[in-house]
Amino acid sequence: MSVVGFDLGFQSCYVAVARAGGIETVANEYSDRCTPSFVSFGPRNRSIGAAAKSQVVTNCQNTVQGFKRFHGRAFTDPYIQSVKSNLVYDLAQMPSGSTGIKVMYMEEEKVFSIEQVTGMLLTKLKETAESALKKPVADCVISVPSYFTDGERRSVMDAAQIAGLNCLRLMNETTAVTLAYGIYKQDLPAPEEKPRIVVFVDLGHSGYQVSVCAFNKGKLKILATAFDSELGGKGFDDILVNHFCEEFGKKYKLDVRSKPRALVRLYQECEKLKKLMSANSSDLPLNIECFMNDIDVSGKLNRGQFEEMCAGLLAKVEGPLRSVMEQTKLKKEDIYAVEIVGGASRIPSLKERISKFFGKELSTTLNADEAVARGCALQCAILSPAFKVREFSITDVVPYSISLKWNSAAEEGVSDCEVFPKNHAAPFSKVLTFFRKEPFTLEAYYSNSKELPYPNCSLGQFLIKNVVPQASGESAKVKVKVRVNVHGVFSVSNASLVEVLKTAEEEEPMETDQTAKEEEEVCTVCTVFARGRKRNSHLSFFKTTTDDAKQEKKNDQPPQAKKPKVKTKTVELPIENNLHWQLSTDVLNMCVENEGKMIMQDKLEKERNDAKNNVEEYVYEMRDKLHGVLEKFVNEADRDTFSLKLEDTENWLYEDGEDQHKQVYVDKLAELKGNSKTPIQKRRYMEAEERPKAFEELGRQIQLYMKIIEAYKAKEEQYTHLDELEVTRVDKQVNDAMAWMNSKMNQQNSQDLTLEPVVKVGEIQAKTKLYSTCNPVVSKPKPKVEPPKEEKTENGPVNGQEGTESQPCNPDKATSAGTEKGTAENKLPEMDID
């Protein structure tokens, strides 16, 4: 499986992968570890990430950004309606009522769902991970803000599916940071010691999240979270943009907001200015050339003025900090450290305020930009059997209290019950017991609308089907398992009917309620008595059977109590979900298919563009070379003809050839390369480059054999055994080769370079194969001479010293053996010419 973490940020995304060496944040095709959360739509393709961001000014209405918080929201949602007017691209309502994005794509107006758009971004991030890991990626962990509601989370899960990802966990951004910190810190308290309390602050673009975590070795428990969705980098940008819109309105009489392009440019410049002000407190300029109506605009600002403008926003820092302290009932002195991450954590006044609140220096142990992605990758590695990670049990929290309500004729109205209070541990399952004669519906909702940054409290309805009375006509016992899963999403995950088969006067067997033991989940059995009475069921309704509760149960029921023995059979019941904004399987499948088509279209377009670029590059390259390295190999007439051809092609590229099919460019390139004299010229150039080396090698071989022949003629000992006839033949061959080489070299040197070479490199290389006929002759081994037998017996090698020359351990023997051996060895062939 792949081990990948994606930080799906409002402004930028990061990808971290686990490799043998550890967790690594990987770079995209621009060698940048940060991928902007932008998708741009064009007449032929989409661009995603950095390529899309570069089109934000030129193709602003079809370049989509800042869509992270559109997930799981109706088009009519107040948040959508409030941001809509500030966007330079259009939003539209999807048939389901959710938010869609309207753009021109492939020369047609298209509305894409938010899941599709995020799916596109994830496709890009997936490709980045794939090219880093050099293998297909599916399994991953994706981050979401801790304050995301179920609808928003389910929508991101759908987006992951559209991108072909298997999201093993949607991880809260602050929890991912917490895990990265926990794995990084080596000195956490032992499991039995008092946990270390650390506050995490993520100051991103779209908001500000705070969480409090208790750490022990191998154990990480989130205690509380809080957030502010205004206090992010974007809030500061908005203030700056407003300020300059007003200033330029007065100073230059420009209505900036009337021109989307100008507004986008102003946002870009204001963000740059904001970043500069983090590092510099003096006056800083803001200049934009040809801003609107050909007017250049300029302004200036310093940090002090900026902080004054943002006083209202900065005052929001304390709210979430105070909130987590109140929720956890901790005192400031209980806090061991305050770790800050996120791009906007670089704003000095924010840091000062947080630091002042806790009376502590802030800690920046982690990489502020990459911590979320790294935490996600760590979580993925923990989930993967292939990686050995220091195990951490991670307990997150339920961000908003969740209740269930149900309606039943027998109950004469609505009953409700809070199943997961705020900050309840998650993931977690509970089992509720109902007594019913017929199918019934449970509606899940967030109990406290005030704490919800979302207009709709309903999570969805769950219809428990196929419920029938017992054979006796009484209500049947129905067990319903509710859970908040690893993604932080609530569901009624299972329902079963307990059918009573037989009753006998026997001791009651052990607990029939099946505790929903699941990996990583603490299970509780809860019983809701709802037999024909209306109950406002709250926590008092639950009989928990965690360890404590089980004890309680045993005490309640003495083991010796005789009760009718009940034999039961459990029947699984189907559940029909009606969840808000969850894409239906059909829609999801269609989106997956469409994403596949768009990926293919992008690929084809890339190939087409590459083919076009190849023609263009060839034109430029050849033009350079005709006046450069190839100059001396081409005569003037040929050069002129070819230059003209190149110029024609260049013009064609800007006119008829601007927008052609890939094959047209491929053919064009082939035509340029084939029909022109280029190949000849190129070959001449290549020949001229390679020729000296080939001659040198041939010369080297000729010399080598000449030396051997000389040595043979001088009757040197090692060659005396060679066959005279054969040596004479080698001698002739070598001399012929030398004559051939000298003559060719002379002819070539007097040849004009613009003409075909006199001799080809290939021919020289063929001549260089002298060794195939010469070598066997000159390296023939000397015949062996066997030493006399008796001597070998007496003076043969002793104690494994055979063949060595260091034998004189016995000087008497050594002398004769040495002499004898030496003679014999000298007769052996020693030379081996290769």
Where does this chain bind ligand ATP (CB under 6 A)?
Answer: 9-12, 68, 204-207, 232-234, 271, 274-275, 278, 342-344, 346-347, 369
Percent helix / strand / coil, the chain, rounded to 5: 45, 25, 30
Q: Using CB under 5 A, count the residues that bind Mg ion.
A: 2
CA 125 to CA 6: how far, in whole Å? 7
Q: Which does 5 bind (CB under 5 to 8 A by kind): ligand ATP, Mg ion, none?
A: none
> 307 vs 396, which CB is nearer to Mg ion?
396
Strand order in the sheet with 46-48: 46-48, 38-41, 63-65
DSSP string, 606-654: HHHHHHHHHHHHHHHHHHHHHTTTTGGGS-HHHHHHHHHHHHHHHHHHH
Q: Determine the interface stretch with Mg ion among 198-206, 219-227, 476-484, 487-495 (rule: CB under 5 A).
A: 198-206
Nearer to ligand ATP, 205 or 684 (CB): 205
36 binds Mg ion (CB under 5 A): no
CA dihedral in degrees (12, 18, 22, 25; nearest 10)? -20
Q: 36 touches which of Mg ion, ligand ATP, none (CB within 5 to 8 A by kind)? A: none
Question: What φ, ψ does residue 210 adopt, rounded to 5°?
Answer: -125, 140
Residue closest to 324 by CA, chosen among 344, 311, 338, 345:
338
Closest CA to 801 of 813, 790, 789: 813
Separation of CA 1 from chain center: 14
| Contact range with Mg ion by CB under 5 A, out of 124-132, 196-204, 235-243, 551-559 | 196-204
- Distance CA(19)–CA(714), nearest Å, equals 66
User: CB of residue 496 vs Mg ion: minimum separation in angstroms?
Assistant: 41
Give the list of residues 6+ apart from residue 761 with CB closer than 8 angstroms, or none: 687, 690, 691, 694
Residue closer to ligand ATP (CB basis): 163 or 653: 163
CB of 487 to ligand ATP, least distance (A): 17
Q: Which is nearer to ligand ATP, 12 or 681 (CB)?
A: 12
Q: Which is nearer to ligand ATP, 118 or 408 (CB)?
A: 118
Which residue(s) pair with 569 in the sheet?
499
* 223 vs 344, beta carbon nearer ligand ATP: 344
Chain-centroid distance, C-alpha 826: 69
Distances (CA, A) of 362 to 199, 301, 315, 335, 566: 10, 27, 18, 11, 62
140 vs 373, which CB is nearer to ligand ATP? 373
**Chain length of the chain:** 834
Of 53-61, 201-209, 239-247, 504-512, which segment contacts Mg ion by CB under 5 A?
201-209
Tell me the closest approach of the beta carbon of residue 234 to ligand ATP, in angstroms: 6
Closest residue to ligand ATP, judged by C-beta, is 233
Interacting residue with Mg ion among 66, 182, 204, 488 (CB under 5 A): 204
Nearer to Mg ion, 10 or 695 (CB): 10
Minimal distance, residue 69 CB to Mg ion, in Å? 12
Report the partner that residue 375 touches, choosing among ligand ATP, Mg ion, none (CB closer than 5 to 8 A by kind).
none
Binding mask 304-343 for Mg ion (x = CB under 5 A): ----------------------------------------
Q: Which residue is nearest to Mg ion (CB)?
A: 204
Q: Choose the one of Mg ion, ligand ATP, none that binds residue 206, judging by a C-beta under 5 to 8 angstroms depending on kind.
A: ligand ATP
Residue placing its CB nearer to Mg ion in the complex, 5 or 9: 9
Token pair of 147, please?
Answer: 């304050």
- My answer on whether omega of the bond before 421 falls inside 30° of 0, hence cis, is no
Q: Based on CB atoms, which residue is closest to ligand ATP, 275 or 760?
A: 275
Closest distance between Mg ion and the C-beta of residue 524, in Å? 33
Q: Which does 460 bind (CB under 5 to 8 A by kind): Mg ion, ligand ATP, none?
A: none
141 vs 344 by CB, closer to ligand ATP = 344
Between CA 632 and CA 610 the distance in angstroms is 31
447 interacts with, out of Mg ion, ligand ATP, none, CB within 5 to 8 A per kind: none
Complex with ligand ATP: residue 53 or 436, whichever CB lies closer: 53
The minimum distance between CB 557 and Mg ion, in angstroms, equals: 52
3-22 residues near Mg ion, rule: CB under 5 A: 9
* Beta carbons within 10 angstroms of residue 648's beta carbon: 12
Helices (H) and strands (E) in the chain, counts: 22, 30
Which partner, ligand ATP, Mg ion, none, binds residue 233 by CB below 5 to 8 Å per kind? ligand ATP
Q: How far is CA 649 from the centre of its chain?
A: 41
To ligand ATP, the closest distance from the beta carbon of 278 in angstroms equals: 3
Tokens of 787: 């030493």
Kindly state the smallest distance separating residue 372's Cβ from Mg ion, in Å. Answer: 6
SS3 783: coil
Pick what 582 binds: Mg ion, ligand ATP, none; C-beta below 5 to 8 Å, kind-dependent. Answer: none
- Structural contact between residues 457 and 490, judged by C-beta atoms closer than 8 angstroms: no
CB 67, min distance to ligand ATP, A: 11
- Name the minimum Å distance from CB 347 to ligand ATP: 5
What letter would DSSP give residue 38?
A: E
Sign of CA dihedral 214, 215, 221, 222: positive
Query: Rounded to 5 degrees, what angle do the CA atoms 581, 585, 587 make?
Result: 70
Task: Tell me whether residue 201 or residue 730 sits nearer to ligand ATP (CB atom).
Answer: 201
Closest distance of CB 341 from Mg ion, Å: 8
C-alpha span between 164 and 178 (Å, rounded): 28
Q: Exposed/middle/buried for 1, CB within 10 Å: 0-12, 13-18, 19+? A: middle
**Binding site residues, Mg ion, CB under 5 A:** 9, 204
